[in-house]
Structure formats: structure tokens, C-alpha cells
């Protein structure tokens, strides 16, 4: 490894790392922090880089740890998990007797790269709109892929609270996706 590598990593993989971070952290600022911390960590660990993975794969692996760290740090600043608005919003999705208020429309099947890219944009926008407590639990679970036991431990909440937040987040996500065209994706 030469001393030039760190700047080359930034030039060649900076945008890629930023995109991966942006869609998990829902914030430009945090995603920039994640990229910076990743490259600095890579720089100090470059002797351990064996070269059996591509630089991008190696950097992405470091980035994943940094993203989880940043989500954890951020979560502590958010009040968990009393989210009364969430409860009322869920009430609107169902009738009194527990049936769906509106039919659940199937999602389309995107084919082209442009369609997929549009869907990803909607996915990110919907995730950005979740309430902070929900967004964090949802990101740790669905994006970072942590087990709920780890999430509960990190946030010091009960598994029940965790499941309630995930259930609401998922209901809101699918509603938001449907309202923003997932049900028409790839329709001819």
C-alpha cells in the first residue's frame, strides 16, 4: 500500500460509500461522517488489508461497522419508545373490527434499471419520513440487519417495544410505498 491510496479511495469509492451510507442513515451529514470515519479507519488499518478483497469490498465492510456505530449514537439522542402518534396512525389503517380500511394492492415488477432506481429513491424517501424512534429501530433491523435482541440491548428497550415499533414502521413504510407508486411499478 502506498501513501497515496487513501486519497485514491476517496476519489474512486467516495461516492459509492456515500450512497450506501446515505440510504441507511437518512442524512447527508451523517453519511459524510460515515465516509470520513471509514477512510480514516482504513488508513490506520491499511497494513491489515491483505488484498484478497477488492478495495471497495474492504472499504464497504468497514463502512458497515461505522454505520451501525452512528445509528447507535444517534438513537441514544432520541426518546424511545413512547410514540403515541404512531398508535393513532395505525388506527387509521384498520377498521374498528380489525379489517384493513383499504385493500392492500399488489406491487408491480420493475424491469428496467430506471424503474428500479426510481423505486429505491421512493424507498429512501419513505424511510426518511418515519418518526425518529421508528426510523432508528427499522434501520438497525432492516438495513443494518441486527437481531432484535441486539437492538433491545443497545436501546435498553423490551422486545415488545421493539416489535411494536417495527410493526408500525413496516405498516407506514408499505403505505408510503403504495402511495408513491410501488403498486404501479413496471405496469405496462
Partner 1 sequence: MKWMPTCRETTELASRAMDARLSFADRMALRLHLAICKNCAQFNLQLQEMRRLFRVETGDSDDAVALAPDARQRIAAELQKELDP
Interaction between residue 89 and partner 1 (CB under 8 A): no
- Size of the chain, expressed as the number of residues it contains: 188
Q: How far is CA 12 from the centre of its chain?
A: 23
Which of helix, strand or coil describes residue 129?
A: helix
DSSP conformational letter for 106: P
Among positions 65, 115, 171, 180, the unique one binding partner 1 when judged by CB under 8 A = 171
- Closer residue to partner 1, CB minimum distance, 35 or 68: 35
Q: Which three cell numbers stand for residue 151?
A: 437492538
Interface pick for partner 1 out of 47, 51, 52, 106 (rule CB under 8 A): 106
In angstroms, what is the minimal distance from the CB of 48 to partner 1?
16
If binding is defined by CB under 8 A, does position 99 make contact with partner 1?
Answer: yes
Decide: is 141 part of the binding site for partner 1 (CB under 8 A): yes
Q: How many Å apart are CA 56 and CA 19, to the nearest integer? A: 13
Pairwise CA distance, residues 30 & 21, whole Å? 8
- Rounded distance between C-alpha atoms, residue 36 and residue 17, angstroms: 10
10 Å Cβ neighbour count for 56?
A: 13
Q: Which of 116, 125, 156, 158 binds partner 1 (CB under 8 A)?
A: 116
66 binds partner 1 (CB under 8 A): no
Rounded distance between C-alpha atoms, residue 101 and residue 73, angstroms: 38
Q: How many residues bind partner 1 (CB under 8 A)?
A: 57
Burial class (CB in 10 A: 0-12, 13-18, 19+), 148: middle
Cβ–Cβ under 8 Å, residues 155 and 166:
no
Q: Is 167 in the site for partner 1 (CB under 8 A)?
A: yes
150 binds partner 1 (CB under 8 A): no
Q: Is 34 in the site for partner 1 (CB under 8 A)?
A: no
Of 47-55, 68-76, 96-104, 128-136, which part binds partner 1 (CB under 8 A)? 96-104
**Binding region for partner 1 (CB under 8 A):** 3, 6-7, 10, 14-20, 22-23, 28, 32, 35-36, 39-40, 43-44, 60, 90, 93-94, 97-100, 103-107, 113, 116-117, 119-121, 123, 141-143, 145, 147-148, 159, 162-163, 166-167, 170-171, 173-174, 177
Amino acid at each position: 500500500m502506498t501513501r497515496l491510496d487513501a486519497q485514491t479511495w476517496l476519489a474512486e469509492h467516495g461516492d459509492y460509500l456515500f450512497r450506501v451510507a446515505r440510504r441507511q442513515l437518512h442524512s447527508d451529514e451523517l453519511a459524510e461522517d460515515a465516509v470520513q470515519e471509514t477512510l480514516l479507519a482504513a488508513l490506520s488499518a491499511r497494513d491489515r488489508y491483505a488484498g484478497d478483497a477488492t478495495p471497495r469490498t474492504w472499504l464497504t465492510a468497514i463502512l458497515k461497522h461505522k454505520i451501525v456505530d452512528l445509528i447507535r449514537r444517534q438513537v441514544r439522542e432520541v426518546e424511545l419508545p413512547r410514540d403515541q402518534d404512531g398508535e393513532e396512525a395505525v388506527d387509521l389503517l384498520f377498521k374498528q373490527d380489525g379489517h384493513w380500511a383499504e385493500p392492500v394492492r399488489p406491487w408491480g415488477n420493475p424491469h428496467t434499471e430506471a424503474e428500479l432506481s426510481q423505486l429505491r429513491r421512493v424507498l429512501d424517501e419513505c424511510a426518511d419520513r418515519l418518526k425518529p424512534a421508528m426510523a432508528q429501530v427499522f434501520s438497525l433491523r432492516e438495513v443494518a440487519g441486527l437481531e432484535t435482541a441486539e437492538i433491545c440491548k443497545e436501546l435498553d428497550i423490551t422486545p415488545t417495544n421493539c416489535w411494536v415499533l417495527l410493526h408500525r414502521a413496516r405498516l407506514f413504510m408499505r403505505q408510503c410505498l403504495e402511495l408513491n407508486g410501488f403498486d404501479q411499478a413496471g405496469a405496462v
